[in-house]
């Protein structure tokens, strides 16, 4: 298998790619959905809500935090997480933009 050459793509394409990769696991989607539902920072409740071990949850939280989809703040002995709205909206804007382009080109669909 060859090495991915990210230099061939724009910085924006690379950023979106990392965001999409980060949400490419169902556990990470479940974590994001939980954070959105709660509308507040969540500290230790994630393990109770998602049926995975604490180390596994921590790995998924780390992956989401590394790309900026979530942010965490230390409160006492725990880290509380919430959605990073700015980054999340960047991803949504990209998907909406792609959807609009598809809608505009619907009459030229080659796979109908």
Map out the domains of the chain as residue ranges.
11-106
For residue 89, the surrounding DSSP H or E stretch is helix 85-104
Statement: residue 111 has pLDDT above 70 = no
- Rg of the chain taking only CA atoms, in angstroms: 17
Statement: residue 112 has pLDDT above 60 = no
Across residues 45-60, what is the average pLDDT? 89
SS3 43: coil
Across residues 7-27, what is the average pLDDT? 94
**Residues 57/46, Cβ–Cβ less than 8 Å:** yes
Q: For domain 11-106, is the CATH number 3.90.700.10?
A: no
Give the per-residue pLDDT at 3.
60
């Amino acid at each position: 298998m060859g090495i991915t050459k990210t230099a061939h793509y724009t910085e924006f394409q690379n950023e979106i790619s990392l965001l999409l990769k980060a949400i490419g696991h169902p556990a990470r989607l479940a974590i994001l959905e939980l954070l959105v539902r709660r509308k507040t920072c969540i500290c230790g409740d994630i393990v109770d809500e998602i049926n995975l071990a604490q180390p596994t949850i921590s790995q998924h939280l780390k992956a989401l935090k590394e790309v900026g989809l979530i942010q965490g703040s230390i409160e006492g002995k725990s880290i509380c997480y919430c959605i990073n709205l700015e980054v999340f909206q960047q991803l949504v804007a990209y998907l909406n933009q792609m959807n609009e382009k598809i809608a505009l080109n619907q009459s030229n669909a080659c796979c109908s």
